[in-house]
Amino acid sequence: MSYSHILFEVDAGGIALITVNRPEKLNALSGAVIADLHQAFERIAGERDIRAAILTGAGEKAFVAGADIQELAALSSLEAREFARCGQQVFRMLETSHKPSVAAVNGFALGGGLELAMACTVRFAAENARLGQPEVKLGIIPGYGGTQRLPRLVGRGRALEMLLAGDPVTAAEAWRIGLVNAVVPQAELLNYSRAWLGKALANAPAALGLVMEAVDVGLNAGIEEGLRFEATAFAVSAATDDGREGTRAFLEKRKPAFAGK
Ligand code: COA
C-alpha cells in the first residue's frame, strides 16, 4: 500500500505509526490526506497483526493545523456537507476500530487536527502543543466532530468556552481540563506513547476491544443501554480463552499467557 501524504510503518509489536506528512502546510488535512487516512484506518481495523496505532505530525511544529483552508474556501454548501460527513466517517472508523490509538500531539492541533486527536483513544501532548477549535474565527464551525467530542471530553462549559472564543489552550491547560492525558517533552513523546500502548497491549485484545466498545455505547446511548451492553460484553469476555486463562493464571499465582482468542 502506498500513500502520498502520510507515512505508515508497523513495528514488530504491531503498533502502526501514522505520520501526517505535509510539514510545509503544518500537516493540514487536505482531501488527499483524508483519503490516505481512510486507507490507513481500514488497515488498522481490518488487519489482525496491527494491534494499535499512534498518530502524529511530521516536523516539530504541528500535529495537524486543521482542515486545509485553501480547499475549504472553494466548497459549495453541499460540497461542504459531503466534506464534513466524509471526514467524520473516516475519524469514526478509527474510533470504533476496537484497537487503542494514541494521538501524539507534537505541536499545533487546531480545528480538524484537534478533532483527529479527539477521535483517538488517548492523547499525549508535547510541551509546545497548542490545541483549539478556531473555526469560528473563520466564520465556520467544526465539521469533523469537534462540537460532539470536545464536550464529551472536557464538559459542556469548557467546550463552549473553547468553541465560541476559538482560542487555543496550552498543553498544560489541556491536561488540566482533561483534554490530553499527559504532557511530556517533545523528544519523549513517541516513546511515552509506545510505553502506554505496551501496557495496554499486554492485556487480552478482545478485552481491550470490548472495553472500548462499551465506553462508546454508554457515552453515546446513555446508561441503561450502556449497562446492558456491558453485561453482554462481560459475558463474551468471560467466555473467551483469554478470559479463562487470565482468571486461572491469577488463581494459580502465575502470569497469564494471552493468545488473542
Ligand atoms: N490549511 C492550509 N494551510 C495551512 C493551514 C491550514 N489549516 N495551517 C497552516 N497552513 C499553511 C500556511 O498557509 C503556510 O503556508 P505558506 O507558507 O504557503 O503561506 C504554512 O502552512 C505555515 O503556516 P504559517 O501560518 O506561516 O505558520 P505560523 O507559525 O505563522 O502560524 C498557525 C501557525 C497554526 C497559528 C497558523 O498557520 C494558523 O492559524 N493556521 C490555521 C489554523 C486554523 O484555523 N485551523 C482550522 C482550519 S478549519
Residue 108 CA, ligand 1 centroid: distance in Å: 10
Instruction: Tell me, yes or no, whether 136 lies in a domain.
Output: yes
Residue 31 CA, ligand 1 centroid: distance in Å: 16
Instruction: Tell me, yes or no, whether 258 lies in a domain.
Output: no
Same structural domain, 69 and 98? yes
Q: Hey, which residues are catalytic here?
A: 115, 135
Query: Could you give the number of structural domains in the chain?
Result: 2
Q: What's the half-sphere exposure (Cβ side, CA atoms, 13 Å) at 109?
A: 31
Same structural domain, 216 and 92? no
Instruction: List the domain range (segments joined by +) for residue 209.
Output: 205-251
pLDDT given for residue 2 in this prediction: 83
Same structural domain, 216 and 174? no
CB of 209 sitting under 6 A from ligand 1: no
CA-closest residue to ligand 1 atom 8:
65
Tell me 187's DSSP state.
G
Give the chain's residues under pLDDT 70. none
CB of 135 sitting under 6 A from ligand 1: yes
Whether 79 and 43 have beta carbons less than 8 Å apart is answered as no
Residue 214: all three cell numbers together: 462499551
Q: What are the respective helix, strand and coil percentages of the chain, to the nearest 5? A: 55, 15, 30
pLDDT given for residue 143 in this prediction: 98
pLDDT given for residue 166 in this prediction: 98
CA-closest residue to ligand 1 atom 45:
66
CB of 67 sitting under 6 A from ligand 1: yes
Same structural domain, 146 and 222? no
User: What distances in angstroms separate CA 9 from CA 1, 38, 80, 188, 189, one per listed residue?
Assistant: 11, 15, 32, 19, 17
Provide the CATH number for the domain around residue 52.
3.90.226.10
